[in-house]
Amino acid sequence: MTRLLLGVTLERICKAVLLLCLLHFVIIMILYFDVYAQHLDFFSRFNARNGSRAHPFSNSSRPNGTAASYGAAGAEPPSASARPGANHSSTEKPLQPCQEVPPGLVGRLLIEFSSPMSMERVQRENPDVRRGGKYSPQDCVPRQKVAILIPFRHREHHLKYWLHYLHPILRRQKVAYGIYIINQFGEDTFNRAKLLNVGFLEALKDDEEYDCFIFSDVDLIPMDDRNLYRCYEQPRHFAVGMDKFGFRLPYAGYFGGVSGLSKSQFLKINGFPNEYWGWGGEDDDIFNRISLNGMKVSRPDIRIGRYRMIKHERDKHNEPNPQRFTKIQNTKMTMKRDGISSLQYRVVEVSRQPLYTNVTVEIGRPPPRLARG
């Protein structure tokens, strides 16, 4: 009798579990299609035509909403400057400083690299970006002027996606900014940190008002616009969680990918090292410089500091630098003499493109004993 009862109970439990599984599966499928709807051409066309049905993460709905809200706010609340002809000198309020937390942020973003991308498209999407990749909010006075520096060589494909995603994000973040790619001339070994030193000086030559410098690899896209690209009390590390590291910080002293220093923070550490040729080590050296100068790296919350990396083969002429491990032991000694104070380079060309400024520079080559590395 009890066995029968047990059997029945078991059967019921099994059914309940089965039902739960089914429910779970259905919910997962709904979420899955919701998130990936845009991957499918069928859905994306549907979304584009029919804005009201678009997924909340899709660009066609919310960013447009925010764009409209500050596009309209460009003309301030109803009272000011909107009506033509009238002279509002009495009612015209002076522009307020931009809010500490910009109101038009949308949070988590869907980032993907499968849809085709072209410079023309990105240009169409960003009509208010000025030549050279500059932008400044119209409806408030930005608190910082940020130069975004991208060490670069042969990554045109990535640049398109970077610009496509970052211009709208930066616009929503309400800072004045300029985008500079620092393009290493020739085919000698790549030197990321030295290019960034060059970027610092060249951006200031272009506009001496820059007070914040953000150093970003071209293949890293933030997945959340609450990760604010600006400078902080302490040097900032933005790329806390990359997809390739399972969205976790690979080690406590990691400072790679995307980082930012104010002008004074950058000068305090004598800029970046010029002697790291090839891949790796320079970011650890920079981290050491920061610690040795009594500063502490600040980071966004791990849930916000998430990044997607555009997949690629390792670049030619950017092989891992075998000397990187010994070099980072010596930051304390090398920091004073190697840095922005000892930087040498030759500008090949500065060209202002619609969405970025292209600074092509010759930065030399590694000393001969390293050349084989």
Ligand X SMILES: *[C@@H]1O[C@H](CO)[C@@H](O)[C@H](O)[C@H]1NC(C)=O
Candidate segments 141-149, 188-196, 315-323, 345-353, binder of ligand X by CB under 6 A: 345-353
Q: Is the dihedral of CA 277, 280, 281, 284 positive or negative?
A: positive
Residue 227 in the binding site for ligand X (CB under 6 A): no
Contact status, residue 272 vs residue 197, Cβ threshold 8 Å: yes
What is the CB neighbour count within 10 angstroms for residue 354? 16
Member of 2, 89, 114, 326 binding ligand X (CB under 6 A)? 89
Q: Which among 351, 58, 11 has a CA at the least distance from the CA of 181?
A: 351
- As given in the structure block, the two tokens for residue 339 are 């840095």
Query: Pattern 189-208, binding to ligand X, x per CB under 6 A?
Result: --------------------
Contact status, residue 107 vs residue 225, Cβ threshold 8 Å: yes
Q: How far apart are CA 136 and CA 75, in angstroms?
A: 15
The DSSP string of 319-361 is: -B-TTHHHHGGGHHHHTTTSSGGG---EEEEEEE-SS-EEEEE
The residues that are catalytic are: 217, 219, 279, 282-283, 309, 312, 314
Candidate segments 49-57, 206-214, 251-259, 320-328, binder of ligand X by CB under 6 A: 49-57
Positions 112 through 171 that interact with ligand X (CB under 6 A)? 125-126, 156, 159, 165, 168
- As given in the structure block, the two tokens for residue 288 are 């050491």
Member of 6, 20, 51, 205 binding ligand X (CB under 6 A)? 51
Candidate segments 33-41, 298-306, 307-315, 346-354, binder of ligand X by CB under 6 A: 346-354
Q: Nearer to ligand X by C-beta: 158 or 324?
A: 158
Angle of the 62-73 helix axis to the 156-172 helix axis, nearest 10: 60
Contact status, residue 91 vs residue 75, Cβ threshold 8 Å: no
Q: How far apart are CA 74 and CA 70, in angstroms?
A: 6
Member of 34, 44, 67, 318 binding ligand X (CB under 6 A)? 67
Residue 56 in the binding site for ligand X (CB under 6 A): no
Q: How far apart are CA 172 and CA 105, in angstroms?
A: 6
Q: Nearer to ligand X by C-beta: 225 or 284?
A: 225
Residue 49 in the binding site for ligand X (CB under 6 A): yes
Q: Nearer to ligand X by C-beta: 15 or 316?
A: 316
Q: Nearer to ligand X by C-beta: 118 or 298?
A: 118
Least Å from the CB of residue 158 to ligand X: 10
Q: How far apart are CA 287 and CA 295, in angstroms?
A: 10
Q: How far apart are CA 41 and CA 372, in angstroms?
A: 48
Q: Nearer to ligand X by C-beta: 98 or 182?
A: 182
Give the type of residue at 107.
G
Contact status, residue 164 vs residue 117, Cβ threshold 8 Å: yes
Q: Which residues pair with 237 in a beta bridge?
A: 259
Candidate segments 4-12, 36-44, 94-102, 348-356, binder of ligand X by CB under 6 A: 348-356
Q: Nearer to ligand X by C-beta: 83 or 311?
A: 83
Least Å from the CB of residue 166 to ligand X: 9
Member of 10, 23, 56, 71 binding ligand X (CB under 6 A)? 71
Least Å from the CB of residue 117 to ligand X: 10
* Residues engaged in binding ligand X (CB under 6 A): 49-51, 59-60, 63-64, 67-68, 71, 87, 89, 125-126, 156, 159, 165, 168, 181, 183, 349, 351, 353, 358, 360
